[in-house]
Amino acid sequence: MKPVIQLNQVHKRFTDKKVVQNLSFEIEKGSFVALLGPNGAGKTTTISMMLGLINQTSGQILLFGKKPEETAVKNRIGAMLQDVHLIDDLTVEELIDLFRHYYPKSLPLDYLLAVSDLQKSRKKIAHSLSGGQKRRLSFALSLAGDPDLLFLDEPTVGMDIISRQLFWDTVRKLKEQGKTIILTTHYLEEADKMADRIIMIDQGKLIVDGTPTELKKSTLGKSISFIVDQKTTTQKLYQFPGVTDVVWEGERVKLYSQDTDQLIRELINSHLKMKEIEISNSNLEEAFQHYVEKAKIS
Ligand SMILES: Nc1ncnc2c1ncn2[C@@H]1O[C@H](COP(=O)(O)OP(=O)(O)OP(=O)(O)O)[C@@H](O)[C@H]1O
């Protein structure tokens, strides 16, 4: 089966600025991919090119084996973008219904109102909605054509906790139905929970591509942190078996190791006076920082 998305040596330049450089990857049907990167990394530009909203300077982009601007492709795509464009004077349900009629197949109006929790606001003028409600409306509009491929560009910004829960429950169900989903977010715990693959970019270049588990494993491992007498030297802490890194945060020190079980035994047997011991798994945020730093050096 052909990949749903194929990018081959894609470059994008705005006047003299290189915004996307030599980006190549393929995304299979049913994948949930998080496209991550710092501000200005080129995520939205990449999504805009995949949606056919802007043209790449060079390279090839294919969705379902075809060019993004083809109608057959557009009919299979939904996108929740950062800016919500609303049409003057239309109510929420009129707007959703209008979008439904753009597509050859569409999802029922009541379903779209339910997953965006806008049933009570259906008769309101869309312009009068709050910021968070507009995001939810944008979600409903992105699903109007029952898309096989869904782009979610920072979807939960401005949503309250209840809305976020409903949003992710719905997205999880869409994934179970076999939809392909591309997410960008700065909330890395959302990417960690939802994505089965992470593509990180920085300054328009791909810096790492793998599962959340792979990315976290290949960084510093788990850590044990505790408050300790300031006379304890970094050198002494490195002598404990398996310690890969020692990081001080004020009077608290964090030791990284791939085998924290062994390390904690050794620490307890030592004469260190440790207080407030915490053991934590390395998280995606640490992996993210690690890869961005590494990309800067190389
Ligand atoms: N139309 C444009 N003209 C000129 N430069 C642009 C244009 N659109 C984006 N850029 C620049 O391209 C770079 C990448 O922007 P982009 O919006 O793709 O980043 P991003 O990864 O989505 O960032 P963020 O996380 O802040 O949303 C930025 O330096 C931005 O200023």
Task: Provide the whole-model pTM.
Answer: 0.84
User: Is 39 touching ligand 1 by the criterion CB < 6 Å?
Assistant: yes
pLDDT of 280: 81
Encode the chain in three state secondary structure.
Answer: CCCCEEEEEEEEEECCEEEEEEEEEEECCCCEEEEECCCCCCHHHHHHHHCCCCCCCEEEEEECCECCCCHHHHCCEEEECCCCCCCCCCEHHHHHHHHHHHCCCCCCHHHHHHHCCCCCCCCCEHHHCCHHHHHHHHHHHHHCCCCCEEEEECCCCCCCHHHHHHHHHHHHHHHHCCCEEEEECCCHHHHHHHCCEEEEEECCEEEEEECHHHHHHCCCCEEEEEECCCCCCHHHHHCCCCEEEEEEECCEEEEEECCHHHHHHHHHHCCCCCEEEEEECCCHHHHHHHHHHHHHHC
ipTM above 0.90, yes or no: yes
pLDDT of 220: 64
Q: Walk me through the domains of the chain, giving residue ranges and CATH numbers.
A: 5-210 (3.40.50.300), 220-281 (3.30.70.980)
Query: What's the CA-to-centroid distance between 153 and ligand 1, angstroms?
Result: 13
User: Is 116 touching ligand 1 by the criterion CB < 6 Å?
Assistant: no
Report, as ranges of residue numbers, the positions in the chain whose pLDDT lies below 70: 218-221
User: Is 238 touching ligand 1 by the criterion CB < 6 Å?
Assistant: no
